[in-house]
Amino acid sequence: MPPWHIDKTVGIRKFKNDRSLSEQQIETIVRWIDGGTPLGDPKDLPPPVTWPDEAAWGLGERFGAPDLIVRSTPYTVPASGQDKWWRPLVETGVTEPRWVRAIEIKPSLPGGRKTVHHVLTLLEQHEAGVTGLASTAAHSGAPMNAGLFMEWAVGKTGEIFPENAGKLMLPGAKIRWEVHYYTVGEELKDDVVELGVWFYPKGVVPKNRTVLRMFNAAPGSELDIPPRQVAMTQNFYPLPAPARLENFQPHMHMRGKSMSMEAVYPDGRREVLSTVSNFQWRWHVNYTYADDVAPLLPAGTVLVFTAWHDNTVANPNNPDPAQWVGWGDRTVDEMAHAWVDVTYLEQDEFDRLVAARKGAKGGARTVQP
């Protein structure tokens, strides 16, 4: 603790939300433990920590109250039984086009935090004939009638989109919820999950549209993990247009061990962007890249996602190493994908950003086109 499981020795090493301990801090704690954890002088104790209000919006300190709150349809979670997936469709009440600056999903307290494994929200709206959308060419020209709006799991607060980028909500937009509940021995009556949305000011139209992509390391969602083995699976995704990647958030279950994201550039050069080498299934941390190092990738770049699962007795989280394991929604099944916000760029803007990064001082990381 604090949870931060990305490998600091490879790939991108600068993040907007870095809460990890430095090597010096870790060494200090280790020396204190090896020394018998002495108390020291009580007068040197720092004041008690003032913890933030868990019921408050995590992004509220920066943005204030959400401009829009959408609530899932109430659902009663039984005291015992199999996992449940609740998928109601809810009106948003949006009556005019609005660009989204930030999003946050908040399970209820205290019950929802105990029983909600993850939440997906999908934006359902009719976009045929809509003009003026940023970087529409990056979406292969087809109308987007539904798409991932935001994903939440333990370890993730919200999403703040980069300057001049965001998501678009249109009149009549609806939210399709997917709330994964599991039972905890007590009934949770009429539980509701909240979705908070912060808009850009009216009239502000960001140039770029950010798309939340689920990059599956298992082709066709097919996983085949033998008993008592460490298994590897890999998948490839060519980028149809220039893009900037905003984050890396691996998602696996109890047997998840590690996951990497690499870029193979059109010239054949290969680069590891990020690796989570110590995946912990209870913490789905979203690693958000700092603006000056977020990967700038030319069209035709191939993203490579590689996942490893530990189905051996050495994995303390493994419920049964004697079982073959495949893909499935339950936590005792497995998954192997990464959630990545992709901001597609027009070619002229991509060229400008690459040139600016090349000319930046202070050793800022540059991705070559």
What are 295-306's pLDDT values in tens digits? Answer: 999 999 999 999
CA distance 181 to 226: 28
Q: φ, ψ for residue 252 (rounded to 5)?
A: -140, 180
* pTM greater than 0.95 (yes/no): no
Q: What DSSP string runs through 67-100?
A: SEEEEPPPEEEPSSSS-EEE--EEE----S-EEE
pLDDT band at 369 (very low <50, low <70, confident <90, very high): very low
> 324 pLDDT exceeds 80?
yes
Domains parsed from the chain with CATH numbers: 1-33+209-369 (2.60.120.230), 54-206 (2.60.120.230)
pLDDT tens digits for 54-77? 899 999 999 999 999 999 999 999
pLDDT tens digits for 288-297? 999 999 999 9
- Among residues 111, 123, 129, the alpha carbon closest in space to that of 147 is found at 123
| Residue 292 DSSP one-character state | T
Q: Is 307 helix (H, G, I), strand (E, B) or coil?
A: strand
Residue type for 168, please?
Answer: L
* CA angle at 233 for the pair 14 and 313, rounded to the nearest 5°: 95
